[in-house]
A and B are shown apart, each in its own frame.
Chain A
């Protein structure tokens, strides 16, 4: 009896410990503003400048090599018959895959009311946009004559020609450009209230003017929030199938062809699972660094890391299942070319790449059966990088090992990249991290209004219902 009375008096405090809190340290609303918005106001540390110079240098070198490729022709790459797609398309698919976790975290976890996503959704969305920008570079460069790339868009022209909508490459153009546009809209819509918070927080004139402009005059009116919430929900609802469609369409680039090793119906779900897997790994890599550099341990807690590691474990197993299934179907098909491609994939000249992939994508995530390892920041960090190495090799294996031994043994070849291809890849890493560092400094890296809304004191308790809980 006494216990009941005490829980009635203590109200919300009493049943709080049942669940691990999403934000540590019991901050007030103003503490949240202060913590996140002050990152924008503070002058960056020397560590920030050092990292930014390294990544910007890599970006500049990559852009130079892109210019060299465009000026000279793609003969500067190691591609030749029969391997016509190499690092370019591998990098394209890899970056697109990384770009999937952002919308997955934002949209799917929002629909499933996973409130832990608020700590990481903003940086994951930003990561998506930057990854898709890096991805988009590769198809554009690899067409060779980039100045004709706009021919991929259906527009009335003096040649009186239209694009071929029966080609998966055109579907890809629509899927990737839609994904980039919708991701930017989703990201920006979520940013509007936070930009308004920063606008009222900063003191200096120029930043204030810039944040005022981009916050569109948001004042937090209830009549606006009502439209905002439903608009956000609709964008989440349409982004969810969009995420699944984009990587399915990317996989059609392969699956719709008749090449052994590419022509399989498992590709769409297999690519989507792999995309989510690599995307979460990249979110973990970035978030662990941001958490450490910007002291965000109270917002990005071990619980968040634990949850993301569980997703890594689950999607890693899906990918592992797909690897097995591909082999089974190749054997069961009775098609000798199909069988040969898969045996060649694992035991041929590119076997080392295949087994690297299996180790990184199937073996490494098994660590996360252990709760202790899921909550170990260093183990997670290393595993997240290994997963992305593995996922890069997955795309490399699919593309190159299927191409390098075609139907005519006389033309079999062993493809290796030139320094230009490697430099462009490193360059996109530089572009990606440069953009991310700029984002982390000048844009609220954590969704301020969303974090406030999940604090224990945020929502009305309707007084009576508290005591019955």
Chain B
């Protein structure tokens, strides 16, 4: 039995960032919620036009940094003053002054890992397969095309009306992408 192609999204291409921003804000005004824009580079103001919230990456980074600082302090205090106190030139077994370089480095290290891992987790990457990857227009989004895609799971999705709206907003090559 051959599976019937299932509609996934209707996509339209844009070449001009201003037209894209206008189209995105209109689509949002029309009530669509499940739509995505694919661009070769970040476009200023697109998040606001799409109504996206601020990224949560900074909170993850901060948590990572705090963990790094605590790790560094505990490591230096416990190894130097508790587990293996060794008198070297009469210096204290632990003091905040000499712990500064390692505190700083581990804070930075943990922040960096938390940032990259947080970024990947929030983007749900790596994911080596995309439902749309057979669509040439979609693949051009990492080259020179702004692709506006309205997904079929959106309650307002309609094969005719969504297509007409995208065409009205100036999208080129409006097409149905199927699984």
- CB-based contact A452/B40 at 8 Å: yes
User: Which residues of chain A are near B79, meaning CB under 8 Å?
Assistant: 154, 162-163, 165
- A-facing mask of B20-35, CB < 8 A → 1, else 0? 1100000000000000
- CB-based contact A238/B75 at 8 Å: no
A residues contacting the other copy or chain, number (CB 8 A):
68
Task: Tell me how many residue pairs across A and B have CB atoms closer than 8 Å.
Answer: 200
Quick one: closest B residue to A188, CB to CB? B116
Identify which of A166, A193, A222 contacts B142 (C-beta below 8 A).
A193
Which residues of A from 219 to 245 have beta carbons under 8 Å from B? 219-231, 234-235, 238-239, 241-242, 245
- A-facing mask of B40-78, CB < 8 A → 1, else 0? 111111110010101101100100010000000001100
C-alpha spacing A459/B21, complex, angstroms: 10
Main secondary structure on B side of the interface with A? helix
Q: A160-B84, A166-B98, A460-B45 are in contact. Are A212 and B18 (CB under 8 A)?
A: no
Which residues of B from 115 to 165 have beta carbons under 8 Å from A? 115-116, 118-120, 122-123, 125-130, 132, 138-144
- CB-based contact B75/A154 at 8 Å: yes
- CB-based contact A165/B142 at 8 Å: no
- A-facing mask of B74-90, CB < 8 A → 1, else 0? 01100110011010100
Is B102 close to A, CB under 8 A? Answer: yes
> Distance (Å) between the CB of B141 and the closest chain A CB?
5
- CB-based contact A165/B99 at 8 Å: yes
Q: A165-B80, A171-B101, A460-B43 are in contact. Are A234 and B58 (CB under 8 A)?
A: yes
C-alpha spacing A127/B100, complex, angstroms: 28
C-alpha spacing A225/B57, complex, angstroms: 12
- CB-based contact A217/B129 at 8 Å: yes
Q: A220-B142, A230-B58, A238-B111 are in contact. Are A174 and B42 (CB under 8 A)?
A: no
- CB-based contact B112/A185 at 8 Å: yes
C-alpha spacing A235/B60, complex, angstroms: 13
- CB-based contact A200/B129 at 8 Å: no
User: Which residues of chain A are near B132, meaning CB under 8 Å?
Assistant: 219
User: Which residues of chain B are near A175, meaning CB under 8 Å?
Assistant: 101, 105
- CB-based contact A228/B80 at 8 Å: no
User: Which residues of chain A are near B38, meaning CB under 8 Å?
Assistant: 219-222
Which residues of A from 1 to 30 have beta carbons under 8 Å from B? 28-30
Is A418 close to B, CB under 8 A? Answer: no
Identify which of B40, B42, B113, B141 contacts A228 (C-beta below 8 A).
B42
Is A204 close to B, CB under 8 A? Answer: no
Identify which of B40, B105, B119 contacts A231 (C-beta below 8 A).
B119
- CB-based contact B113/A185 at 8 Å: yes
C-alpha spacing A235/B55, complex, angstroms: 15
Is B11 close to A, CB under 8 A? Answer: no
User: Which residues of chain B are near A220, meaning CB under 8 Å?
Assistant: 38-40, 141-142
- B interface residues with partner A (beta carbon < 8 Å): 17-18, 20-21, 36-47, 50, 52, 54-55, 57-58, 61, 65, 75-76, 79-80, 83-84, 86, 88, 91, 98-99, 101-102, 104-106, 108-109, 111-113, 115-116, 118-120, 122-123, 125-130, 132, 138-144
* 9 contacting pairs across A/B (C-beta < 8 A): A171-B101, A175-B105, A200-B139, A220-B40, A231-B118, A234-B57, A238-B65, A245-B101, A459-B44
The 5 closest A-B pairs by CB, nearest first: A29-B144, A216-B126, A162-B79, A231-B119, A171-B101
